[in-house]
């Protein structure tokens, strides 16, 4: 039972983490076991299953970064142990102990791991199944995360996609490229840093002095919509737009002293409501205005909230502190090089001060792929792949 990728790893996730109330455990176990076998039975990052889409292109921040920041001048890096302690390739620049949610979502679609755009080896045939542009500390706003040094903001990631597109044009004819892009899936996961590395740290940024929470959310959504439409104009037609999770519940925020013992920082979570509600409304508007495309809202807040409210249902026993970190809630200082992490990582929701464990990422990937409209609106990723 526990030999999917060595010691009690992914089968435990299959069997314990990915149970959803509206699916029987047998269906969930079968689907995720297939994903486990894909990774265990194929080469590094390769998929043994038939791909359901030509490619997946990922845009976002450290939640789905697979190593882009390794190649730029940034303090926001995770290419050291114990990051990657449960990943087949070891430390890779992923901000978790194992795979990210985007890795698992790709596996479920039958795709190999999308390589980091900034890796010099990401060229030629390696780009045909998709590319990952996500960058730790990146935000919707260009200035977000600047105190960490260089990073690829949303607008820069769109430009980087154009660079990939120029390569693809030399590899396939115009008609084939148009069909390839229309069938591929773009996943965008932004917004968290615009709050925790901008709006919520006024000593470094003045945005909270300038904008009320609703006005700041509106600013983010307007900038976001512009870049989403830019990607649409370049030929992409299938979009998964992931909302922001309950940031007030991450160890970093719990350790701030602004929350009562055992509680999240409620006012932080409340601030996020305007953005998430606005993003869902934006999805409805985009679908109405662009009938040849499909836009999906991923309810990360609801998925994380379900784990926080029902941890035992997913096999979690620790939801309020990090597996690797220092200080209150192991969240005051994030996971440092060669720190000793917890041994029971599959029972922890959070890996470090900011990021989920592989086990929590598995829940998010599964719910995005096969969840009901409350998780993925108006359809899920599996349904979108069939269009």
- In this predicted model, what pLDDT tens digit does every residue of 58-90 receive, in sequence order? 999 999 999 999 999 999 999 999 999 999 999
Phi-psi region of 93 (alpha: psi -120 to 50; beta: other; left: phi over 0): left
- In this predicted model, what pLDDT tens digit does every residue of 315-338 receive, in sequence order? 999 999 999 999 999 999 999 999
d(CA 52, CA 258): 45
Q: Which of 352, 375, 376, 385 is catalytic?
A: 352
Strand partners, 333: 326
**Over residues 292-299, mean pLDDT:** 98
Confidence band (pLDDT; 50, 70, 90) for 259?
confident
Confidence band (pLDDT; 50, 70, 90) for 47?
low
Comparing CA positions, the residue from 174, 297, 175, 168 lying closest to residue 224 is: 297
- In this predicted model, what pLDDT tens digit does every residue of 224-242 receive, in sequence order? 999 999 999 999 999 999 9
Q: Which of 74, 355, 375, 385 is catalytic?
A: 355
Confidence band (pLDDT; 50, 70, 90) for 51?
very high
Measure CA 193 to chain center.
12
Strand partners, 350: 322, 356
Instruction: Find out whether 280 and 377 touch, Cβ atoms under 8 Å.
Output: yes
Does residue 103 carry a catalytic annotation? no
**Over residues 280-302, mean pLDDT:** 98
**Over residues 248-254, mean pLDDT:** 97
**Over residues 262-280, mean pLDDT:** 97
Comparing CA positions, the residue from 65, 56, 71 lying closest to residue 84 is: 65
**pLDDT at position 343 over 90:** yes
Does residue 352 carry a catalytic annotation? yes
d(CA 211, CA 206): 9
Q: What is the pLDDT of residue 174?
A: 86
Q: Which of 62, 74, 184, 385 is catalytic?
A: 62
Instruction: Find out whether 160 and 133 touch, Cβ atoms under 8 Å.
Output: yes
**pLDDT at position 19 over 90:** no
Report pTM. Answer: 0.90
Strands of the chain (E only): list them. 56-60, 185-189, 238-242, 294-298, 318-322, 325-326, 333-334, 348-350, 376-377
Does residue 306 carry a catalytic annotation? no
Sheet hosting strand 376-377, strand order edge to edge: 56-60, 185-189, 238-242, 294-298, 376-377
| Helices and strands per DSSP (H, E), number in the chain | 13, 9
Residue predicted with more confidence, 197 or 16: 197
Q: What is the pLDDT of residue 49?
A: 64
Q: What is the pLDDT of residue 67?
A: 98
């Amino acid at each position: 039972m526990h030999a999917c990728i060595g010691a009690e790893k992914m089968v435990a996730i299959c069997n314990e983490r990915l149970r959803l109330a509206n699916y029987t455990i047998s269906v969930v176990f079968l689907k995720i076991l297939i994903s486990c076998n894909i990774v265990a039975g194929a080469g590094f990052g390769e998929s043994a299953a038939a791909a359901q889409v030509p490619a997946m292109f990922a845009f976002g921040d450290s939640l789905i970064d697979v190593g882009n920041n390794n190649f730029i001048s940034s303090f926001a890096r995770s290419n050291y142990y114990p990051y990657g302690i449960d990943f087949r390739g070891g430390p890779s620049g992923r901000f978790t102990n194992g795979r990210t949610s985007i890795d698992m979502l790709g596996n479920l679609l039958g795709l190999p791991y999308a390589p980091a755009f900034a890796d010099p080896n990401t060229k030629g045939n390696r780009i045909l199944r998709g590319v990952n542009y996500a960058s730790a500390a990146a935000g919707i706003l260009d200035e977000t995360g600047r105190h960490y040094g260089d990073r690829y903001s949303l607008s820069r990631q769109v430009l980087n996609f154009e660079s990939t597109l120029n390569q693809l044009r030399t590899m396939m004819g115009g008609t084939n490229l148009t069909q390839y892009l229309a069938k591929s899936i773009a996943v965008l996961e932004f917004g968290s840093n615009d709050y925790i590395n901008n709006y919520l740290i006024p000593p470094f940024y003045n945005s909270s002095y300038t904008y009320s929470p609703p006005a700041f959310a509106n600013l983010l959504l307007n900038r976001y919509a512009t870049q989403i439409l830019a990607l649409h104009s370049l030929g992409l037609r299938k979009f998964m737009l992931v909302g922001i999770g309950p940031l007030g519940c991450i160890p970093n925020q719990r350790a701030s002293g602004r929350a009562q013992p055992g509680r999240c920082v409620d006012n932080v979570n409340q601030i996020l409501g305007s953005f998430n509600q606005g993003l869902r409304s934006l999805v409805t508007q985009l679908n109405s205005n662009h009938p040849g495309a499909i836009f999906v809202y991923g309810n990360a807040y609801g998925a994380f909230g379900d784990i926080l409210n029902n941890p035992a249902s997913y096999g979690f026993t620790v939801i309020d502190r990090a597996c690797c970190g220092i200080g209150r809630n192991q969240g005051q200082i994030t996971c440092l090089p060669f720190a000793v992490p917890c041994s029971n990582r599959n029972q922890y929701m959070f890996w470090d001060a900011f990021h989920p464990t592989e086990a929590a990422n598995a829940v998010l990937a599964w719910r995005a792929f096969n969840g009901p409209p409350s998780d993925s609106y108006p359809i899920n990723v599996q349904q979108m792949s069939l269009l």
